[in-house]
Amino acid sequence: MNNLLEINNVVKNYGDFRALNDVSIHIPKGSVYGLLGPNGAGKTSLIRIINQITMADAGSILLDGEPLSPKHTADIGYLPEERGLYKSMKVGEQALYLAQLKGLSKTEAKKRLKYWFDKFDISAWWGKKIEELSKGMAQKVQFIVTVMHNPKLLIFDEPFSGFDPINAQLIAKEILQLRDEGATIIFSTHRMESVEEMCDEIALINKSNKILDGKLADIKREFRTNTFQVGLNTANPNEVKAQLKESFEVFPADFKLLGEEMTMNVKLGETNSANDLLSFLTTRGEVQHFVELIPSANDIFIQAINKNS
């Protein structure tokens, strides 16, 4: 069994509104899986179904090969986008309570909490109430209560919101470490730069349908436009451009280089290879810059959504 989570043909309706339409997603063990999509696409509905907060109207969900059942709540850690803690409850008591709800014994929970509190250097907060902490501090506590029961599956919905860049970096590092220790991670976000940084695979949901999924690298390959950024030192830029246009498509550059060289984006035609372009350029001047324009997760997101609608 290579997939930790298999979501097959899941349908969810709220009254007349269909929130998820025949969505299938397979999440490999030990991966960071990006669940992307615009607001209202159905991501939260899907996440809530995985967490058994709501039930799917149709379709099946297998966790580690077994149909999802209430005992699995202990195998899942969930950091919702709408999150918070009991304001007037003390940090330590609260963490113990939430850990016990996830099935840990009190002694085990205490041990794990001590580890995490030491790790984040927040042991001094144990007896404080949440309302006495800053938002970032509360978020750290929230992160700990999400992961402390060592779940097989971790679901983070916008995990970095509310964190400053330093703490966001810390959390990102922790998430990747958890993956390396064997956890599988579902990562839902609008922040595409963190998708690039973290995700091995992604699925894109738009208007209740999954419109795209697979390894991030494969998807990028699929979305590549065979366009190259070119920087060339040449005496006759206009002549070069005119000659290039005979066999390639040339666009104005969308980047800046340090020198005075001519810059442009060049798209290979059907019959040309990157080598053809490069060898042509070397005959016309000194190549300063030659990089394939790889679509960013952001580009893919926008393109796929636009195409879909």
Residue ranges that bind another protein, judged by CB under 8 A: 13-15, 48, 51-57, 70, 73, 76, 78, 80, 82-89, 97-98, 100-102, 142, 145-146
Instruction: Report d(CA 188, CA 17) in Å as an integer.
Output: 22
Q: Which is nearer to another protein, 54 or 150 (CB)?
A: 54
Q: Is 118 exposed, middle or buried (0-12, 13-18, 19+ CB in 10 A)?
A: exposed
Residues 6+ apart with CB under 8 A from 76: 50, 51, 63, 151, 152, 153, 154, 155
Query: With contact defined as beta carbons under 8 Å apart, do 232 and 44 qualify?
Result: no
**What phi-psi label fits residue 59: left (phi over 0), alpha (psi between -120 and 50 degrees) or beta?**
left
Q: Which is nearer to another protein, 58 or 242 (CB)?
A: 58
Hey, which residues does 187 pair with through a beta bridge? 34, 156
Residues 6+ apart with CB under 8 A from 214: 201, 202, 222
Q: Which is nearer to another protein, 2 or 105 (CB)?
A: 105
Instruction: Give me the least distance between CB of 110 and another protein, in Å please.
Output: 14
Instruction: Give me the least distance between CB of 11 and another protein, in Å please.
Output: 11
Instruction: Give me the least distance between CB of 73 and another protein, in Å please.
Output: 5
Q: Which is nearer to another protein, 84 or 269 (CB)?
A: 84
Give the CA distances from residue 184 to residues 34, 44, 76, 295, in Å, rounded to whole numbers and listed in that order: 11, 18, 10, 26
Q: Which is nearer to another protein, 86 or 251 (CB)?
A: 86
Q: Which is nearer to another protein, 80 or 295 (CB)?
A: 80
Q: Which is nearer to another protein, 102 or 179 (CB)?
A: 102
Instruction: Give me the least distance between CB of 300 and another protein, in Å please.
Output: 29
Give the CA distances from residue 189 to residues 32, 51, 84, in Å, rounded to whole numbers and listed in that order: 12, 17, 18
The position carrying tokens 């390894």 is: 215
Instruction: Give me the least distance between CB of 171 and another protein, in Å please.
Output: 17
Instruction: Report d(CA 42, CA 20) in Å as an integer.
Output: 6
Cα angle for residues 180, 71, 149 (degrees, 5° grid): 40
Instruction: Give me the least distance between CB of 100 and another protein, in Å please.
Output: 5
Instruction: Give me the least distance between CB of 189 and another protein, in Å please.
Output: 17
